[in-house]
Amino acid sequence: KKTKLSADVPGKIISVFVDEGSKVKKGEPLLQQDKSSMELQLKQINVKIKGLEDDVRRYSALKKADAVQGVKLEKAQLGLQSAKIEKSILQDKIDKTTVRAPFDGIITMKFCEQGEYFAPGKPLFQLIDISTLKFNITVSENEVILFNDGDEFPITSNVFPEVVLTGKVTTVGAESNKMSHDFPVEFTIHNTKDLKIKSGMFGNVYVTRENDTEHIVIEASSIVGSNIHPQVYVVKDGKAWLHDIIISSRFKNKAVVSKGLSQGDVIVTTGFINLFDGANVIIKN
């Protein structure tokens, strides 16, 4: 979770309580704006309220004795209500001169200094909460069926492979990427107590397949056709024949073939110029 904090009211900064890297708790003050003029206004309103309260008490007593018209009491009562609303609005503005952390987190960026004047909407700090992290991967159409909302999987980071965290599936993409035809999967992870895992780190998800079978791994450069209809040239009896294959996953420059090839098959990896289905080929070792 990440957000940029800004001031709700304009004003001059008189104190900054945090710096980049500071760990803060929800509600902790981060910055204080000048509120002296508003506090003077508040004192003025309190005096006004006291005077109106005295008027209401006096007119109430006089009205009971029929010594004053009721309209004067009503005006005093309405004036008192208006003054109290005015006080509440001003008190809210005074409270907002103290910028507080909306959640537990770490200050990762600071855009302000003591003595500056800031207007509402201009960012003051960037706050990140890494106690809970999102971890995103992309998987092939053959692998996306392994992930369902609520499923849990062990996840490790590349930097700290010894730290095994539990990732809960929160989102499984309903549509594949139009270029790669992979599906996005998102996990939610609870970080370690010392927040060892940082936002932006790379990691791995470990999936155990039931009744998993051995697959054949080939060079990705051996594949012809498209991602939707991948094929390879299989050499038999001196001829190259196109075979349809199913790719279950890819990593680096390799492809895992789950169907379409058998162990021992000889495939063409280079020399595709002028190659066609049924062409005569000579294998050079």
One-letter-per-residue 3-state SS of 151-181: CEEEEEECCCCCCEEEEEEEEECCCCCCCCC
CATH architecture of the domain formed by 132-205: Beta Barrel (2.40)
Read off the tokens for 164.
């095994």
- Tell me the average confidence (pLDDT) per consecutive run of 10 residues in the chain, 285 residues long: 91 95 94 95 95 90 76 89 95 94 94 91 93 92 87 93 94 88 93 90 84 75 86 93 86 81 90 89 77
pTM of the model: 0.58
Please tell me the predicted confidence (pLDDT) of residue 213. Answer: 60
Please tell me the predicted confidence (pLDDT) of residue 177. Answer: 85
The full length of the chain comes to 285
The domain ranges of the chain are 2-127, 132-205, 216-280
How far is Cα 87 from Cα 44, in angstroms, rounded to an integer?
10
Please tell me the predicted confidence (pLDDT) of residue 209. Answer: 66
Sequence-ordered list of residues with C-beta below 8 angstroms from that of 130, at least 6 positions apart, any chain: 105, 106, 191, 195, 197, 198, 199
Please tell me the predicted confidence (pLDDT) of residue 146. Answer: 87
Instruction: Return the CATH class of domain 2-127.
Output: mainly beta
CA dihedral (73, 79, 85, 87) positive or negative: negative
CATH of 216-280, one of 3.10.20.30, 2.40.420.20, 3.30.420.40, 1.10.357.10: 2.40.420.20
